[in-house]
Amino acid sequence: MVMPRFVRPKEGDSESSPNLYVANCGPAVGLQFDTIVSAFSSFGEVKGVYAADENGARVIVSFLEPASAHSAFIALNGRPCPHLGGRSLHIRHSILQPPSSRGMASVPVSLNASDLNIPGLYLFHDFISAVEEEQLLQAVDTGSWISLSKRRVQHYGYKFCYDTRNVDTKQHLGALPSFVSFILERISLSPDIPEKLDLDQLTVNEYPPGVGLSPHIDTHSAFEGLIFSLSLAGPCIMEFRRYTAGSWAPKTASISDTEVENPNSCSEVSRKAIYLPPRSMLLLSGEARCAWHHYIPHHKTYRQNFERLVV
């Protein structure tokens, strides 16, 4: 999947960016993201810390305010950071740019769901810890994989039938696996989840390098009102597209997946994009669930996620 593209700002624009590219910093050198957040928080509110690339030793620190980023740059660039084991950091200002799509205009990439102004879309950063992420990845590897044309999947609770794009509610596969019990509990206890749920269906998708998602809306009858998606092992940028105006509510309860055969040929389309960091939980509900197609371009960066942890 696609990595976010952070680039140097134009001359004179450095102080207007809240993002810093920080080298010699990251999991590959023994610094976890929560530790990095703590170290940089002394300069202002940190919106998030993200992998700058697959190296593991370079991160993007995103502040709420550009002034905080500039203060951190002045204080830490080329100097030992006492809160990070005395490690000397190499820092430059950076701005976020979306990946280019052939024949299409660029779409600004947001770091928070609220910036997209899509009703029913929520993104919870650091929903699980790095240790929990590694435990989940190990647990998933012991599961039973089903090979599809471009990816592998595991089904729990109910099996999704790709031929009919639906589930057979009479064929229950059993309870959800124990390795997601803490996720279910965390969802049930979260004050930010709009409603309390009895989650009983899980699909694990493994996306190999180069594989993305075509623009689609997941089957309403199969997954009902809410879809939770937990990202593991790598980040990506997800785009949301709304092709026609009108009510977002489905006309029938059995509507199947809506895929766009040639999405670039649609003239009436609203496009918005969001960066999904590792260990973040995405929630699609309401208008975001039923009216907006979600889409991930095909790129060559590994990503694995728990897609469609739903009721």
Given this chain, do its domains 6-96 and 109-245+267-310 carry the same CATH topology? no
Cross-strand partners of 124: 281
Letter string b/e over residues 206-221, b meaning 16 or more CB atoms within 10 A of that residue's CB:
bbeeebbbebbbbbbe
For residues 207 and 231, give the distance between their C-alpha atoms in angstroms, rounded to a whole number: 11
pLDDT at 48: 81
Alpha-carbon span 96 to 63, nearest angstrom: 13
In angstroms, the CA 31 to CA 8 distance is 24
Q: Which two tokens stand for residue 274?
A: 């969001």
pLDDT of residue 9: 53
3-state SS of the chain is CCCCEEECCCCCCHHHCCEEEEECCCHHHCCCHHHHHHHHHHHCCEEEEEECCCCCCEEEEEECCHHHHHHHHHHHECCEEHHHCCEEEEEEEEEEECCCCCCCCCCCEECCHHHHCCCCEEEECCCCCHHHHHHHHHHHHCCCCEECCCCEEEEECEEEECCCCEEEEEEECCCCCHHHHHHHHHHHHCCCCCCCCCCCEEEEEEECCCCCEEEEECCHHHHCCCEEEEEECCCEEEEEEECCCCCCCCCCCCCCCEECCCHHHCCCCEEEEEEECCCCEEEECHHHHHCCEEEECCCCCCEEEEEEEEC
The residue among 84, 24, 21, 27 whose CA lies nearest residue 56 is 27
Full pLDDT tens readout for the chain, 311 residues: 344 556 565 555 556 788 899 999 887 788 888 889 999 999 999 888 877 776 678 888 988 888 999 999 999 999 999 889 889 999 988 876 654 444 445 677 788 898 899 999 999 998 999 899 999 999 988 878 888 877 888 888 877 776 667 677 777 888 899 999 999 999 888 877 766 677 888 888 888 766 777 787 876 655 677 889 999 887 778 889 987 654 344 433 333 344 444 444 455 788 888 888 889 999 998 898 888 998 887 654 334 444 333 22
The CATH code belonging to domain 6-96 is 3.30.70.330
pLDDT of amino acid 89 = 92
Q: Distance of CA 199 to CAs 123, 183, 202, Å?
A: 18, 10, 8
- pLDDT on residue 221: 57
Task: Note the pTM of the prediction, 2 decimals.
Answer: 0.61
pLDDT confidence of residue 106: 63
Number of CB atoms found within 10 A of residue 50's CB: 23
Cβ atoms of residues 235 and 50 within 8 Å: yes
Written as one letter, the residue type at 180 is: V
Residue 252: the pLDDT is: 35
**Distance (Å) of CA 245 to CA 113, 248, 291:** 21, 8, 9
Q: For the chain, what are the domain ranges?
A: 6-96, 109-245+267-310
Q: Which residues neighbour 200 within 8 Å (Cβ) at sequence distance 6 or greater?
A: 157, 158, 176, 311
Q: Which fold has domain 109-245+267-310?
A: Jelly Rolls (2.60.120)
Task: Please choose, from the candidates 309, 235, 295, the residue with its C-alpha nearest in 3D space to the C-alpha of residue 263.
Answer: 295
With the C-alpha atoms ordered 197, 203, 208, 210, is the resulting torsion angle positive or negative?
A: negative
